[in-house]
Amino acid sequence: MSIVTPITKLLNIRVPIVQGGMQWVGVPRLAAAVSEAGGLGILTGLTQPTPEALRQAIRETRKLTSKPFGVNITLLPTINPPDYAGYSRAAVEEGVKIFETAGNNPGPLIKYFKENGCIVIHKCTTIRHAKSSERLGVDILSIDGFECAGHPGEDDIGGLYLLARAAQELKVPYIASGGIADPRGFVAALALGASGVNMGTRFMCTVESPIHQNIKDKIVASTERDTVHIFRTMRNTARVFKNKVSMEVVRIEGRPGGAKFEDIRELVAGSRGRQVYELGDPDYGIWSAGITVGLINDIPTCEELFKRFEKGAQMIVSGLTSCVNIQDEPSRAKL
């Protein structure tokens, strides 16, 4: 079977589920598994140490799947910015046709991808940013609610509202990011006007995810109370797993007079987060996790997960038709 929405046609995929572009997690094996299962796998550009390494990762992914996949380029607020242009050029030259962009000031990046005939999915946490991205020519918006892992913005607006608002305002198709990890959230997102969903945390906890088994087990054992916001006082809020390191960051941020980035730099180093995934100690550093850790109870293969979502979506929509009488053939809402 298939689930047909505007984005399945645009992206040439069978099921409108996009894998989030997760740092250290979006590697060829996972991206290929998601694409093979029927969704859109995403290689995280900056997970590769250099543009040349990204070229190799793209080639490696192609060996694992002939289906479409994308590359994520996230523009981070950082002192020494990575070579975004170099990563982007490498991916375009390798023939990648789908990009996910996120972060600050994406205009030049979006322009480059569009000039090269690529499809751009851009992630936003507010309607006003989504509308300005529309004007930049993005093809698909990824509307990221308060529940998400990583950066939710500073407005704290949950997906249930934000997606319904997007339906009122947006012209291009949008996918729902943040807070979704099961077929109920998937169908709810479609009802809210989304053309599909983006999932990160759920894919972290699959067989093909490259992170250490201990961390997958930790996600299974966690609840929605096991994430916390850091960097809030710096207006660069990020939702991460609640552990010794993140709670120490929160403590330092809460000191009278607040904290400067220098005060926590050591604690939040990306290399320590990477070590969490490699060594399997959930307390070693900062790692992103969405509220959906509380919905996740197992570690399926991507193929099993997609089958579950497809069957679940069928069952839920069938249940909806039995409670909401649609026999008098009303006009159909745009989805």
- Applying CB under 8 A, the residues found at the interface with a copy of itself are 1-5, 145-147, 155-165, 167-168, 178-182, 184-185, 187-193, 224-225, 256, 291-292, 294-295, 311-326, 328-335
Query: In the complex, what is the shortest distance from the CB of residue 295 to a copy of itself, in angstroms, rounded to a whole number?
Result: 6
CB atoms within 10 A of CB 29: 15
Q: Which H or E run contains 18?
A: strand 17-19
Q: How far is the CB of 83 from a copy of itself (least distance, A)?
A: 36
Nearer to a copy of itself by Cβ, of 79 and 323: the residue is 323
From the list 197, 278, 166, 200, the residue with the least C-alpha distance to 26 is 200
Q: How many Cβ atoms sit within 10 Å of the Cβ of residue 333?
A: 8
CA atoms of 333 and 315, how far apart (whole Å): 20
Q: What is the 3-state secondary structure (H, E, C) of 20-45?
A: CCCCCCCCHHHHHHHHHHCCEEEEEH
Shortest Å, Cβ 163 to a copy of itself:
8
For the purposes of burial, counting CB atoms within 10 Å of the CB of 122, is it exposed (0-12), middle (13-18) or buried (19 or more)?
buried
Report the candidate in 213, 179, 207, 229 with the shortest Cα–Cα distance to residue 306.
207
Note whether 41 and 306 are within 8 A (CB): no
Q: Which is nearer to a copy of itself, 147 or 208 (CB)?
A: 147
The span from the CA of 217 to the CA of 280, in Å, is 10
CB of 138 to a copy of itself, least distance (A): 22
Q: What's the min distance (Å) between Cβ of 68 and a copy of itself?
A: 19
- What CA–CA distance (Å, rounded) separates 256 from 30? 43
Nearest-approach distance from CB 328 to a copy of itself, in angstroms: 8
- Cβ at position 184, least distance to a copy of itself in Å: 5
Shortest distance (Å) from residue 114 CB to a copy of itself: 27
Angle of the 28-37 helix axis to the 51-64 helix axis, nearest 10: 40
Q: For a copy of itself, which is the closer residue by CB, 71 or 296? A: 296
Tokens of 61: 């992914």
Which ranges in 195-290 belong to alpha helices (H)? 201-204, 213-221, 244-253, 261-264, 270-279
